[in-house]
Amino acid sequence: MLFKRTHFCGHLDLACQGREVIVNGWIRKIRDFGKFAFVDLWDHTGIAQMVFSLEDGELSGIRQCIVGDSIGVKGKVVERKDKNPNLPTGDIEVNVLSWERYSISEPFPVSENPSEETRLKYRYLDLRTEKMQRNLRFRHEVIKEIRDHLSEKGFIEVETPILSKSTPEGARDYLVPSRLQPGHFYALPQSPQIYKQLLMIGGVDRYFQISRCFRDEDLRANRQPEFTQLDVEMAYADEEDIFSMTEALFKDVVRKVTGKEIPASFPRMTYQEAMSRYGSDKPDTRFGMLISDVTGQCRPEGFGVLEEALGRGDKVKGLVIPEKEPSRKEIDAMTDLAKEKGAGGLMWFKMKEGAIQSPVSKFLKDGGKSITEALGLREGDTAFVVASADSVASKALGAVRLYLRDLYGLVEKVKELHFLWVTDFPMFFYNEDEGRYETEHHPFTMPDPDDMDRYLDKDPEKIRSRSYDLVLNGEEIASGSVRNHIRPLQEKVFQKIGLTSEELQKRFSFFLKALQYGTPPHAGIAPGLDRFIQILLGEESIRDVIAFPKTTNAACLMTESPSEVDQVQLDELRIMVNNKN
RNA sequence: GGAGCUGUAGUUCAGUUUGGUUAGAACGCCUGCCUGUCACGCAGGAGGUCGCGAGUUCGAGUCUCGUCAGCUCCGCCA
C-alpha cells in the first residue's frame, strides 16, 4: 500500500508539531538502540528523523531494513528533547505509528566519497547526493529563466531535426545509417546552424532552441560528445543587436539564479589583442600579468640562441609574476608547457637584492638587464621570457600564465564573473596537414567585405570575419557571428576552403538555393549551457552538471554504451564490420 | 594519435621504494547486546581472479613488457 504523502522530509518543522504526517523517502541511516531506533529518512528536500519503537511488533520490522530501502512512514511530529542544530529539521522528529517498506535495497555499492568510475557506473545512486540534486535543480532554473526571458522578448523555440545532414568542416560527425536507403547516412547535428538560418529565411525572425549538439572528437573535463547549446538567431540583426540581446539575457539569468549583479554590457577585445596580450583567444581577465613584447628593447648580444632568433624575425615576449618565486620543479613544469606550445624553451629571471638571477644571464652581455627592465621586473619578482615566432611565444606564455594562476590561486572561483567579448576573428586559417584554407569559425560567417576584396587572393589569413566569442572567466561559453546572407559571397567562401562545385552541388545546393529568395540579413549566437552552468556552480567537471555523462572514452559506464548490436540489425542496415586494426 | 596519474574486499584506501609466513584498515553487510542518537556505542562474523595477459625468478600485489579501463593535459574540438 502506498502512503500518500502529506509533507516532504525537508519541510517538516515546529509548525507541524502535534500533527500526523505521512512522508516517503529513502533510509539514509539507522541508529538502533535496542528498544527503539532512529531512522534518517531522505527525499529530494532533505532529511528528517523518524523514531521507531522496537517493542512494537510491526515497527520492529525496521530492523530488517538497510540504507537505501524505500519506505513510507505515518507518524506524529514532536519537538525533540535533544535538538540537532546541524540539521534543518533538527528541532523535530516523527514518532512512527505505522510504516511500509516499499522496496528493498541491495547494500550500496557506493560510499560517501566514491570514485568517478563508481559514480558513473551507479549514476542513479550518485544522483541521490545533495550535490547532484542541487546541480540538476540549478540547471533547470537556468534553462527555465532562459526560456522565460527569450519568450518575453518575442523569440520562439523551434525544434530542428536530430537526424540531419553532414556539415562541411568542423568536427567529426556522428553518423546514423539509413535502413531505407542502404549506404546512406544521416549525421547528428554539430549544431542546428543551417536549420536556424533557414528559419530566418522562413520568416521566423527571432528563434531560439535548447538544442543538443553532437561532435565526435576527443573529450576533456569541459567537453562531452553530446552537449547542450542555447541556439539563438535574429533576422535583420547585426553584432550590436546580438551583443545587447545576449548581455540582457545573461544579466537577467545570472541575477535570477544566483542573485549576483553583472555589468549591463560586457567589455570587448579583438582577437589580435587577446592573442598578443593573453596568449589565448579566451583570455582570463580576472587577473593581470599580461604578456609584453620586448623585442625592441632586448639586447641579445653574447647569447647565440637569442641572437639567432632575432635574426630570423622571432619575437621576444615575457610576463612578470610579482613577488613570487616558483620552485625549480614548477619552472620545469612551465617549461614543458611552453614546449608543448612549440617554444624552444622558457627563460626566467629573478630579481634578488637588486641583482638579476637567471640561468641565461651569464650568456648575455648585459646580464639580462635590457629584458628585465623592459618587463619592469622588481625586487622579488620572477619574469618568464620566450623567444619564438610571435604566435608561438604568445601561446607559450599564455599557458605559463594560466599555470601561475592555478599555482598561486590568483583567482577566486565562482565569486567573480568576468564576461568578455572577443571580436574580429580571422575568417580563414591555413591547415598545413590538409594543404588548404579552412574557416576559423564556420563557413556561414560573414567575412569583412573590404578585407575580402583586398586579401582574398594574396593573403586570406588577413581577412577578418564578423564573428565573436563570449568568454567567461577564461572559458569560451558562446560563439556566434553575423551570417553570410549573400549567395555569391557564400559561394566564394566555399570555394576558398576547397569545396569543389560538385561537392557544393551535392551537399549544399538546397542551402545556396534558399539564399536566393530574399534572405534577410541575420546574426546569431550559441552559448554552451553545460559550461555556463558548470562555471556558475564552480564545478571542476562538466560531468557534474549533466545527469548522465560519458567518460573520456565517450562511453557510458551505466548502460555500457556503445555496444555491439545483433547481426540481424547490421544485415538490415547492410553494414559489414571490419574488425581489422 | 601522444604524455602523465590511477587500478588491491561491496566502497574508500594502506601495502609496491628494498620480491619472501596466512594481503590489512575504515565504512558497508551478517549475528547478538544496548532508552536519546544524529560519524551512536559494544562483542563477534562473512567477504579478495591484488584490472587482464605474458615474462623474469626457487618465489610476483611488489620487477619487466603488453593490454584494458577511469581521470587530467597536448593534438583535435568550424
Tens-digit pLDDT profile for residues A285-332: 999 999 999 999 999 999 999 999 999 999 999 999 999 999 998 999
The strand B neighbours among A residues 391-450, by Cβ under 7 Å, are 438-443
The per-residue pLDDT for A323 is 95
Whole-number distance in Å between A222 CA and B10 C1': 31
Q: Which of A30, A78, A35, A23 is nearest to A60 (CA)?
A: A35
| Protein-nucleic contacts, chain A 525-544 to strand B, CB < 7 Å | 540-541, 543
Whether A381 contacts A356, CB under 8 Å: no
Binning pLDDT at 50, 70 and 90, where does residue A510 land? very high
Q: Please report which confidence band the pLDDT of residue A505 belongs to, taking 50, 70 and 90 as the band edges.
A: confident
Positions 258-317 of A with beta carbon below 7 A from strand B are none
Range 206-235, chain A: CB under 7 Å to any strand B atom: 215, 217-223
Q: Is the CB of A104 under 7 A from strand B?
A: no
Taking 90 as the threshold, does the pLDDT of residue A366 lie above it? Answer: yes
- Answer yes or no: is pLDDT of A166 > 90: no
CB of A117 within 7 Å of some strand B atom: yes
With a pLDDT cut of 90, the percent of chain A lying above it is 92
ipTM for the whole complex: 0.94
Whether the CB of A53 is less than 7 Å away from nucleic strand B comes out as no
Looking at domain A132-270+419-546, its CATH class is alpha beta
| Residue A414 confidence class, pLDDT cut points 50, 70, 90 | low
Average confidence (pLDDT) over A407-416 = 82
Residue A413: the pLDDT is: 65
Assess whether A125 (CB) lies less than 7 A from strand B.
no
Please give the grid coordinates belonging to residue A331.
619552472
**Would you say the C-beta of A40 is within 7 Å of strand B?**
yes
**Could you tell me the pLDDT band of residue A506, with boundaries at 50, 70 and 90?**
confident
Positions 324-383 of A with beta carbon below 7 A from strand B are: 340-341
A83 touches strand B (CB under 7 A): yes
User: What class has domain A9-103?
Assistant: mainly beta
Question: Do A363 and A425 meet the contact criterion of CB atoms below 8 Å apart?
Answer: no
Res. A158 pLDDT band, cuts 50 70 90: very high
Domain boundaries, chain A: 9-103, 132-270+419-546, 292-408
**Strand-pair category, A206-214 with A156-157:** parallel
Section A475-488 average pLDDT: 97
Distance in angstroms, CA of A218 to C1' of B2? Answer: 13
More confident residue, A417 or A415: A417
Q: How far is the CA of A177 from the C1' of B68 (A)?
A: 29
**If you count them, how many residues does chain A have?**
581
A86 versus A500: the higher-pLDDT residue is A86
| Cβ neighbours of residue A334 closer than 8 Å, sequence gap 6 or more | A326, A346, A384, A399, A400, A403, A404
pLDDT 10s digits, A65-118: 999 999 999 999 999 999 999 999 999 999 999 999 999 999 999 998 999 999
Threshold 0.90, pTM exceeds? yes
Q: Taking the CB of residue A353, how many other CB atoms lie within 10 A of it?
A: 7
Q: Is A524 exposed, middle or buried (0-12, 13-18, 19+ CB in 10 A)?
A: buried
Q: What is the CATH number of domain A292-408?
A: 3.30.1360.30
Using C1' positions and the CA of A36, the closest nucleotide is B35
CA distance A405 to A307: 31
Over 70: is that where the pLDDT of A580 sits? no
Checking if the pLDDT of A501 tops 90, the result is no
Please tell me the distance from the alpha carbon of residue A161 to that of residue A82, in angstroms, as a whole number.
59
| SS3 per-residue string spanning A357-403 | ECCCCCCCCCCCHHHHHHHCCCCCCEEEEEEECHHHHHHHHHHHHHH
Which bases on strand B have an atom closer than 7 Å to a protein beta carbon? Answer: 1, 10-13, 26-30, 33-41, 69-78
Residue A142: pLDDT above 70? yes
CA of A67 to C1' of B42 (A): 21
Give the CA-to-C1' distance from A505 to B8 in angstroms.
60
**Exposure string over A134-173, b if 16+ CB within 10 A, otherwise e:** ebeebbeebbebbeebbeeeebeebebeeebbbbbbbeeb
A538: left (phi over 0), alpha (psi -120 to 50) or beta: left
Spatial contact of A320 and A289, defined as CB atoms under 8 Å apart:
yes
Separation of CA A64 and C1' B34 in angstroms?
17
- Rg (C-alpha) for chain A, rounded Å, is 30
Q: Which of residues 57 to 76 on A have a Cβ less than 7 angstroms from any strand B atom?
A: 66-67
CB-strand contact A461/B, under 7 Å: no
Mean pLDDT of A278-291: 96
Distance B67 C1' – A554 CA (angstroms): 19
What are the C-alpha distances in Å from A177 to residues A114, A575, A579? Answer: 38, 9, 18
